[in-house]
Amino acid sequence: MHVPDGFLDAPTSAATGVIAAGAIAVSLRGARRELDERTAPLAGLVAAFIFAVQMLNFPVAAGTSGHLLGGALAAILVGPFTGVLCVSVVLLMQGILFADGGLTALGVNITNMAIVTVVVAYALFRGLVTVLPRTRRSVTAASFVAALLSVPAAALAFTLMYAVGGTTDVSIGKVATAMIGVHLLIGIGEAVITALTVGAVIAVRPDLVYGARGLTQRLKLRVNGELVDAPQAGPEPVAARSSHRRVWAAGLVTSLVLAGFVSFYASANPDGLEKVAGDNGIDEKAEEHAAADSPLADYGVEDVDDARLSGGLAGVIGVGVTVVAGSTVFWAVRRRRTGDTSPSDTANATDGGDTASTPAGPSTAGAGSGTTGV
């Protein structure tokens, strides 16, 4: 759903740019409360993983494909504010390096693919996990539903933007029907990818899933015939930190394989927005991308004639650049949080005791936590 330059007029593009800038500013502040020793390293990896999976277009209908948007996945794994930043980093890298998504339309794309998907998905997710049983399966099921509905929500947001500032005279009713219809199908793929990824991380390290925090129960001990809460655990043990590094390494390797090899087998059909735009004349005034001459434009390396090698190298470069850019941003935000808190506050956040700092509550799962699993 990467909107190119020329689909929307300048005032609408500028307005969405202001909205996107404001949301990023708010998210930078909010992410300071979400990022800790677990989510800070994971956030850069989540951005790289989203970049990799977005290269894997899957067929959804005759002549149409779709790809992951990633807002739901990022919000559930690392938190909604950090999720907005993750997807924004991906969109920035794609626009500047790969000529994917217009530069003047960057605000449009961040609003649709980062803000709308995260807000809708995380609101639905939190509502569902509140009413569902407190289990790992409930988290996975809630992830599926939230991701499914976040995609047509983004499609509807684009349609409303086009109704306000579209550059061609088309039937908004037809555009809305086509956009929402095809993106409901794309949403199924989004939901499957999101649920599988969240379920895989929960199975290994549930404490790394931001959306699963607060769903664990404190271990009870029987003392003199009465049940009491077990003492809070101390700092994360070495074994848990080693497990964290293994999860990070496995995620990075998976991202590199997906972008560098599996992407070659992705569907070549236009995605949902491209298909609807072509069928309804939305693309009549589309403009050439400002970075069309980039050596990585269209996800290929310039002067590399072999298509498989060219695309694979571009994917690997994209994953590397995104993980570095994302990790730099998130570590900087994390350091800012550490500098703004007292030593006692930092220690409290480290052992999961800062219940006011995260909307999902504290995490007491994982190795050495002294709790039962979700």
Tell the CATH topology of 10-372: Arp2/3 complex 21 kDa subunit ARPC3 (1.10.1760)
**pLDDT beyond 70 at 237:** no
Cα–Cα dist 168/281, whole Å: 7
Q: So where are the chain's domains?
A: 10-372
Instruction: Provide the pLDDT for residue 168.
Output: 94
**pLDDT beyond 80 at 72:** yes
What is the band of 62 on the pLDDT scale with cuts at 50, 70, 90? confident
**pLDDT beyond 50 at 219:** no
Instruction: Provide the pLDDT for residue 224.
Output: 67
What is the band of 216 on the pLDDT scale with cuts at 50, 70, 90? low
Give the lowest-confidence range in 158-162, 235-239, 302-306, 311-315: 235-239
Average pLDDT over residues 203-208: 88
Q: How many percent of the chain have pLDDT more than 70?
A: 82
Q: What rounded mean pLDDT belongs to the chain?
A: 86
**pLDDT beyond 70 at 67:** yes
Q: What digits encode the pLDDT tens for the residues 275-327?
A: 999 999 999 999 999 999 999 999 999 999 999 999 999 999 999 999 999 99
Cα–Cα dist 228/370, whole Å: 13
Phi, psi dihedral angles at 339 (to 5 degrees): -70, -25
Instruction: Provide the pLDDT for residue 46.
Output: 97
Instruction: Provide the pLDDT for residue 369.
Output: 40
Instruction: Provide the pLDDT for residue 245.
Output: 82
Q: Is the pTM of this model over 0.75?
A: yes
